[in-house]
Amino acid sequence: MSDLLVAIYPWVKTLHVIAVISWMAGLFYLPRLFVRHSESVEQGSKTDDLFQLMELKLLRVIMNPAMIVAWVCGLIMVFTPGVIDWSWGWPWVKAVAVIAMTWFHYWLSQRRKDFIAGLNRTSGKQYRLMNEVPTLLMIVIVTMVIARPF
């Protein structure tokens, strides 16, 4: 099995990077949609319906599949012999940041449900602030993987 994991590693890594880019695009864009939705759209209007559809499609068609593929490929790489040395600190920091990114994805999913129920209580300003979360986590993750500072 380990020979197979080593043989497919370059392809798994390629797919992982593609999935992460797609996931990150959604994590950056969905909060921006929420900013406009919360600040400029009247609840129950046709525009409200349009925003809800756009948010649903972004989450279900792009973000959820991309997150799943990123996780599956990431776990395959973790189990590939010789790729990760868990005695270092960087893989642990990266793992925590990826879990935080997944939590953020879940948080966005819950906010979408608030819009559907007409119960959005999060302001555009709060969405703008939360939009910085994936950027900060991305900086941590990329730094850990590329620079491996510890």
- Enter the tokens of residue 133: 């979360």
The answer to whether 122 and 34 have CB atoms below 8 angstroms apart is yes
Assessment of whether the complete model's pTM goes beyond 0.75:
yes
- pLDDT, one tens digit per residue, over 49-89 is 999 999 999 999 999 999 999 999 999 999 999 999 999 99
Domain ranges of the chain: 2-146
Confidence category of residue 33, pLDDT binned at 50, 70, 90: very high
Determine the Cα–Cα distance for residues 53 and 44; give it in Å rounded to an integer. Answer: 13
Helix ranges (H only) for 41-63 are: 46-57
Q: Which are the contacts of 137, defined by CB distance < 8 A and separation ≥ 6? A: 97, 100, 101, 104
Determine the Cα–Cα distance for residues 57 and 141; give it in Å rounded to an integer. Answer: 27
- pLDDT, one tens digit per residue, over 93-109 is 999 999 999 999 999 99
Quickly count helices (H) and strands (E) in the chain: 6, 0
Determine the Cα–Cα distance for residues 112 and 128; give it in Å rounded to an integer. Answer: 15
- pLDDT, one tens digit per residue, over 124-140 is 999 999 999 999 999 99
